[in-house]
Structure 1
Amino acid sequence: MKRYPGYQRKPFYYETDKMGIIHHSNYIRWFEEARVDLLEFLDYPFEKIEEIGVMVPVLAVSSTYKEMVRFGDEIIIHPTISKYTGTRLNFEYQIINQATGAVATIGTSDHCFMSSETSRLIHLKRQHPELHELFMSYYTLKTDEDAE
């Protein structure tokens, strides 16, 4: 399994505020775009997750702004799985300005897995072992690379 190279993006003008910088609300959207792209990269897109009857709601999200991102900047967003338990999935994000290499924003999002039929919490290892194995393998890949 290969490591996700990141989600490249160029901000749109409509995402800026009156000061010409990206409005803070857009970073949360960008986190979601990067998560969705990561699932595509892992060949298990959201559509497939929904088809098997799994919902992945957001429980919490945070964002810390370190440097401004402006219209015209090219950024790369690196989502990493920071925790996976089979019932919970947490991500950390880094938004990096590609021209300078500076970390512009860091963030987190916490999720759980629910049945779309019952709206109850599910454990992927029992109910969807293929998806469990995918998340576990990718999470372990991150852990193994960090140990090197």
Structure 2
Amino acid sequence: MYSGYYRKPHYYETDQMGIVHHSNYIRWFEEARVDLLDYLELSYQEMEKAGLIVPVLEVSCQYKGMVYYGDIVRIDTFVAKYNGSRLDFSYKVINEKDQLVTTGTSKHCFLEQQSHDFIQLKKSYPKFHQIFANYLDHSSTNP
């Protein structure tokens, strides 16, 4: 079971008050998403090598608390939606006190790398489709 992505803010990510600047959370979401895909043994590098790209269509972030320099946070990343052509993630940033400090989402699609045509993963990349299908089956039975 995936245990989340742990992150300690860097000094340059903070403002004068030692609070993590809001723009960094979007980067953290990407780091956490890459970490989850690596855990699933489906890295961006492997997908790109196979001729597939997964661009970001939309991203959102809701701030509920502050993260300070020196804190350690866990970013829980979930596949919120997968239908073969779309892949949506949700994120929860939890501080060391087990408090929810930020939530977010990102929406993606699958494109053929050269033509940038939309593709159905099940048809064009069945191995990759099966990894997502297995993950969703497993996560729905083990919340």
TM-score range, shorter chain: over 0.9
Determine the C-alpha separation between the residues in 2 that align with 1:19 and 1:88. Answer: 39
Determine the C-alpha separation between the residues in 1 that align with 2:51 and 2:130. Answer: 17
Q: Alpha-carbon deviation of 1:123?
A: 0.3
What secondary structure, in the 3-state scheme, does the structure 1 residue paired with 2:142 have? Answer: helix
Q: Alpha-carbon deviation of 1:42?
A: 1.1
Q: Alpha-carbon deviation of 1:124?
A: 0.3
TM-score by length of 1: 0.94
- What are the within-5 Å matches in structure 2 for residues 36-115 of structure 1? 36-98=34-96, 100-115=97-112
Structure 2: gaps spanning 5 or more residues: none
The answer to whether the aligner puts 1:34 opposite 2:45 as a matched pair is no
8 Å contact from structure 1 (residues 112, 121) kept in 2: yes
Q: Alpha-carbon deviation of 1:46?
A: 1.0
Determine the C-alpha separation between the residues in 2 that align with 1:134 and 1:39. Answer: 10
8 Å contact from structure 1 (residues 81, 142) kept in 2: no
Q: Alpha-carbon deviation of 1:19?
A: 2.6
- What are the within-5 Å matches in structure 2 for residues 109-124 of structure 1? 109-124=106-121
Determine the C-alpha separation between the residues in 2 that align with 1:58 and 1:140. Answer: 24
What secondary structure, in the 3-state scheme, does the structure 1 residue paired with 2:42 have? Answer: coil
Q: Equivalent pairs: percent with the same residue?
A: 49
Select which of 135, 139, 143 maps to 1:142.
139
2:4 is aligned with what amino acid?
G
Size of the aligned set, in residue pairs, is 143
The answer to whether the aligner puts 1:7 opposite 2:8 as a matched pair is no
| Runs of 4+ with deviation above 6 angstroms | none
Determine the C-alpha separation between the residues in 2 that align with 1:39 and 1:114. Answer: 17
Determine the C-alpha separation between the residues in 1 that align with 2:30 and 2:142. Answer: 24
Q: Alpha-carbon deviation of 1:141?
A: 1.7
CA RMSD of superposed structures (Å): 0.9
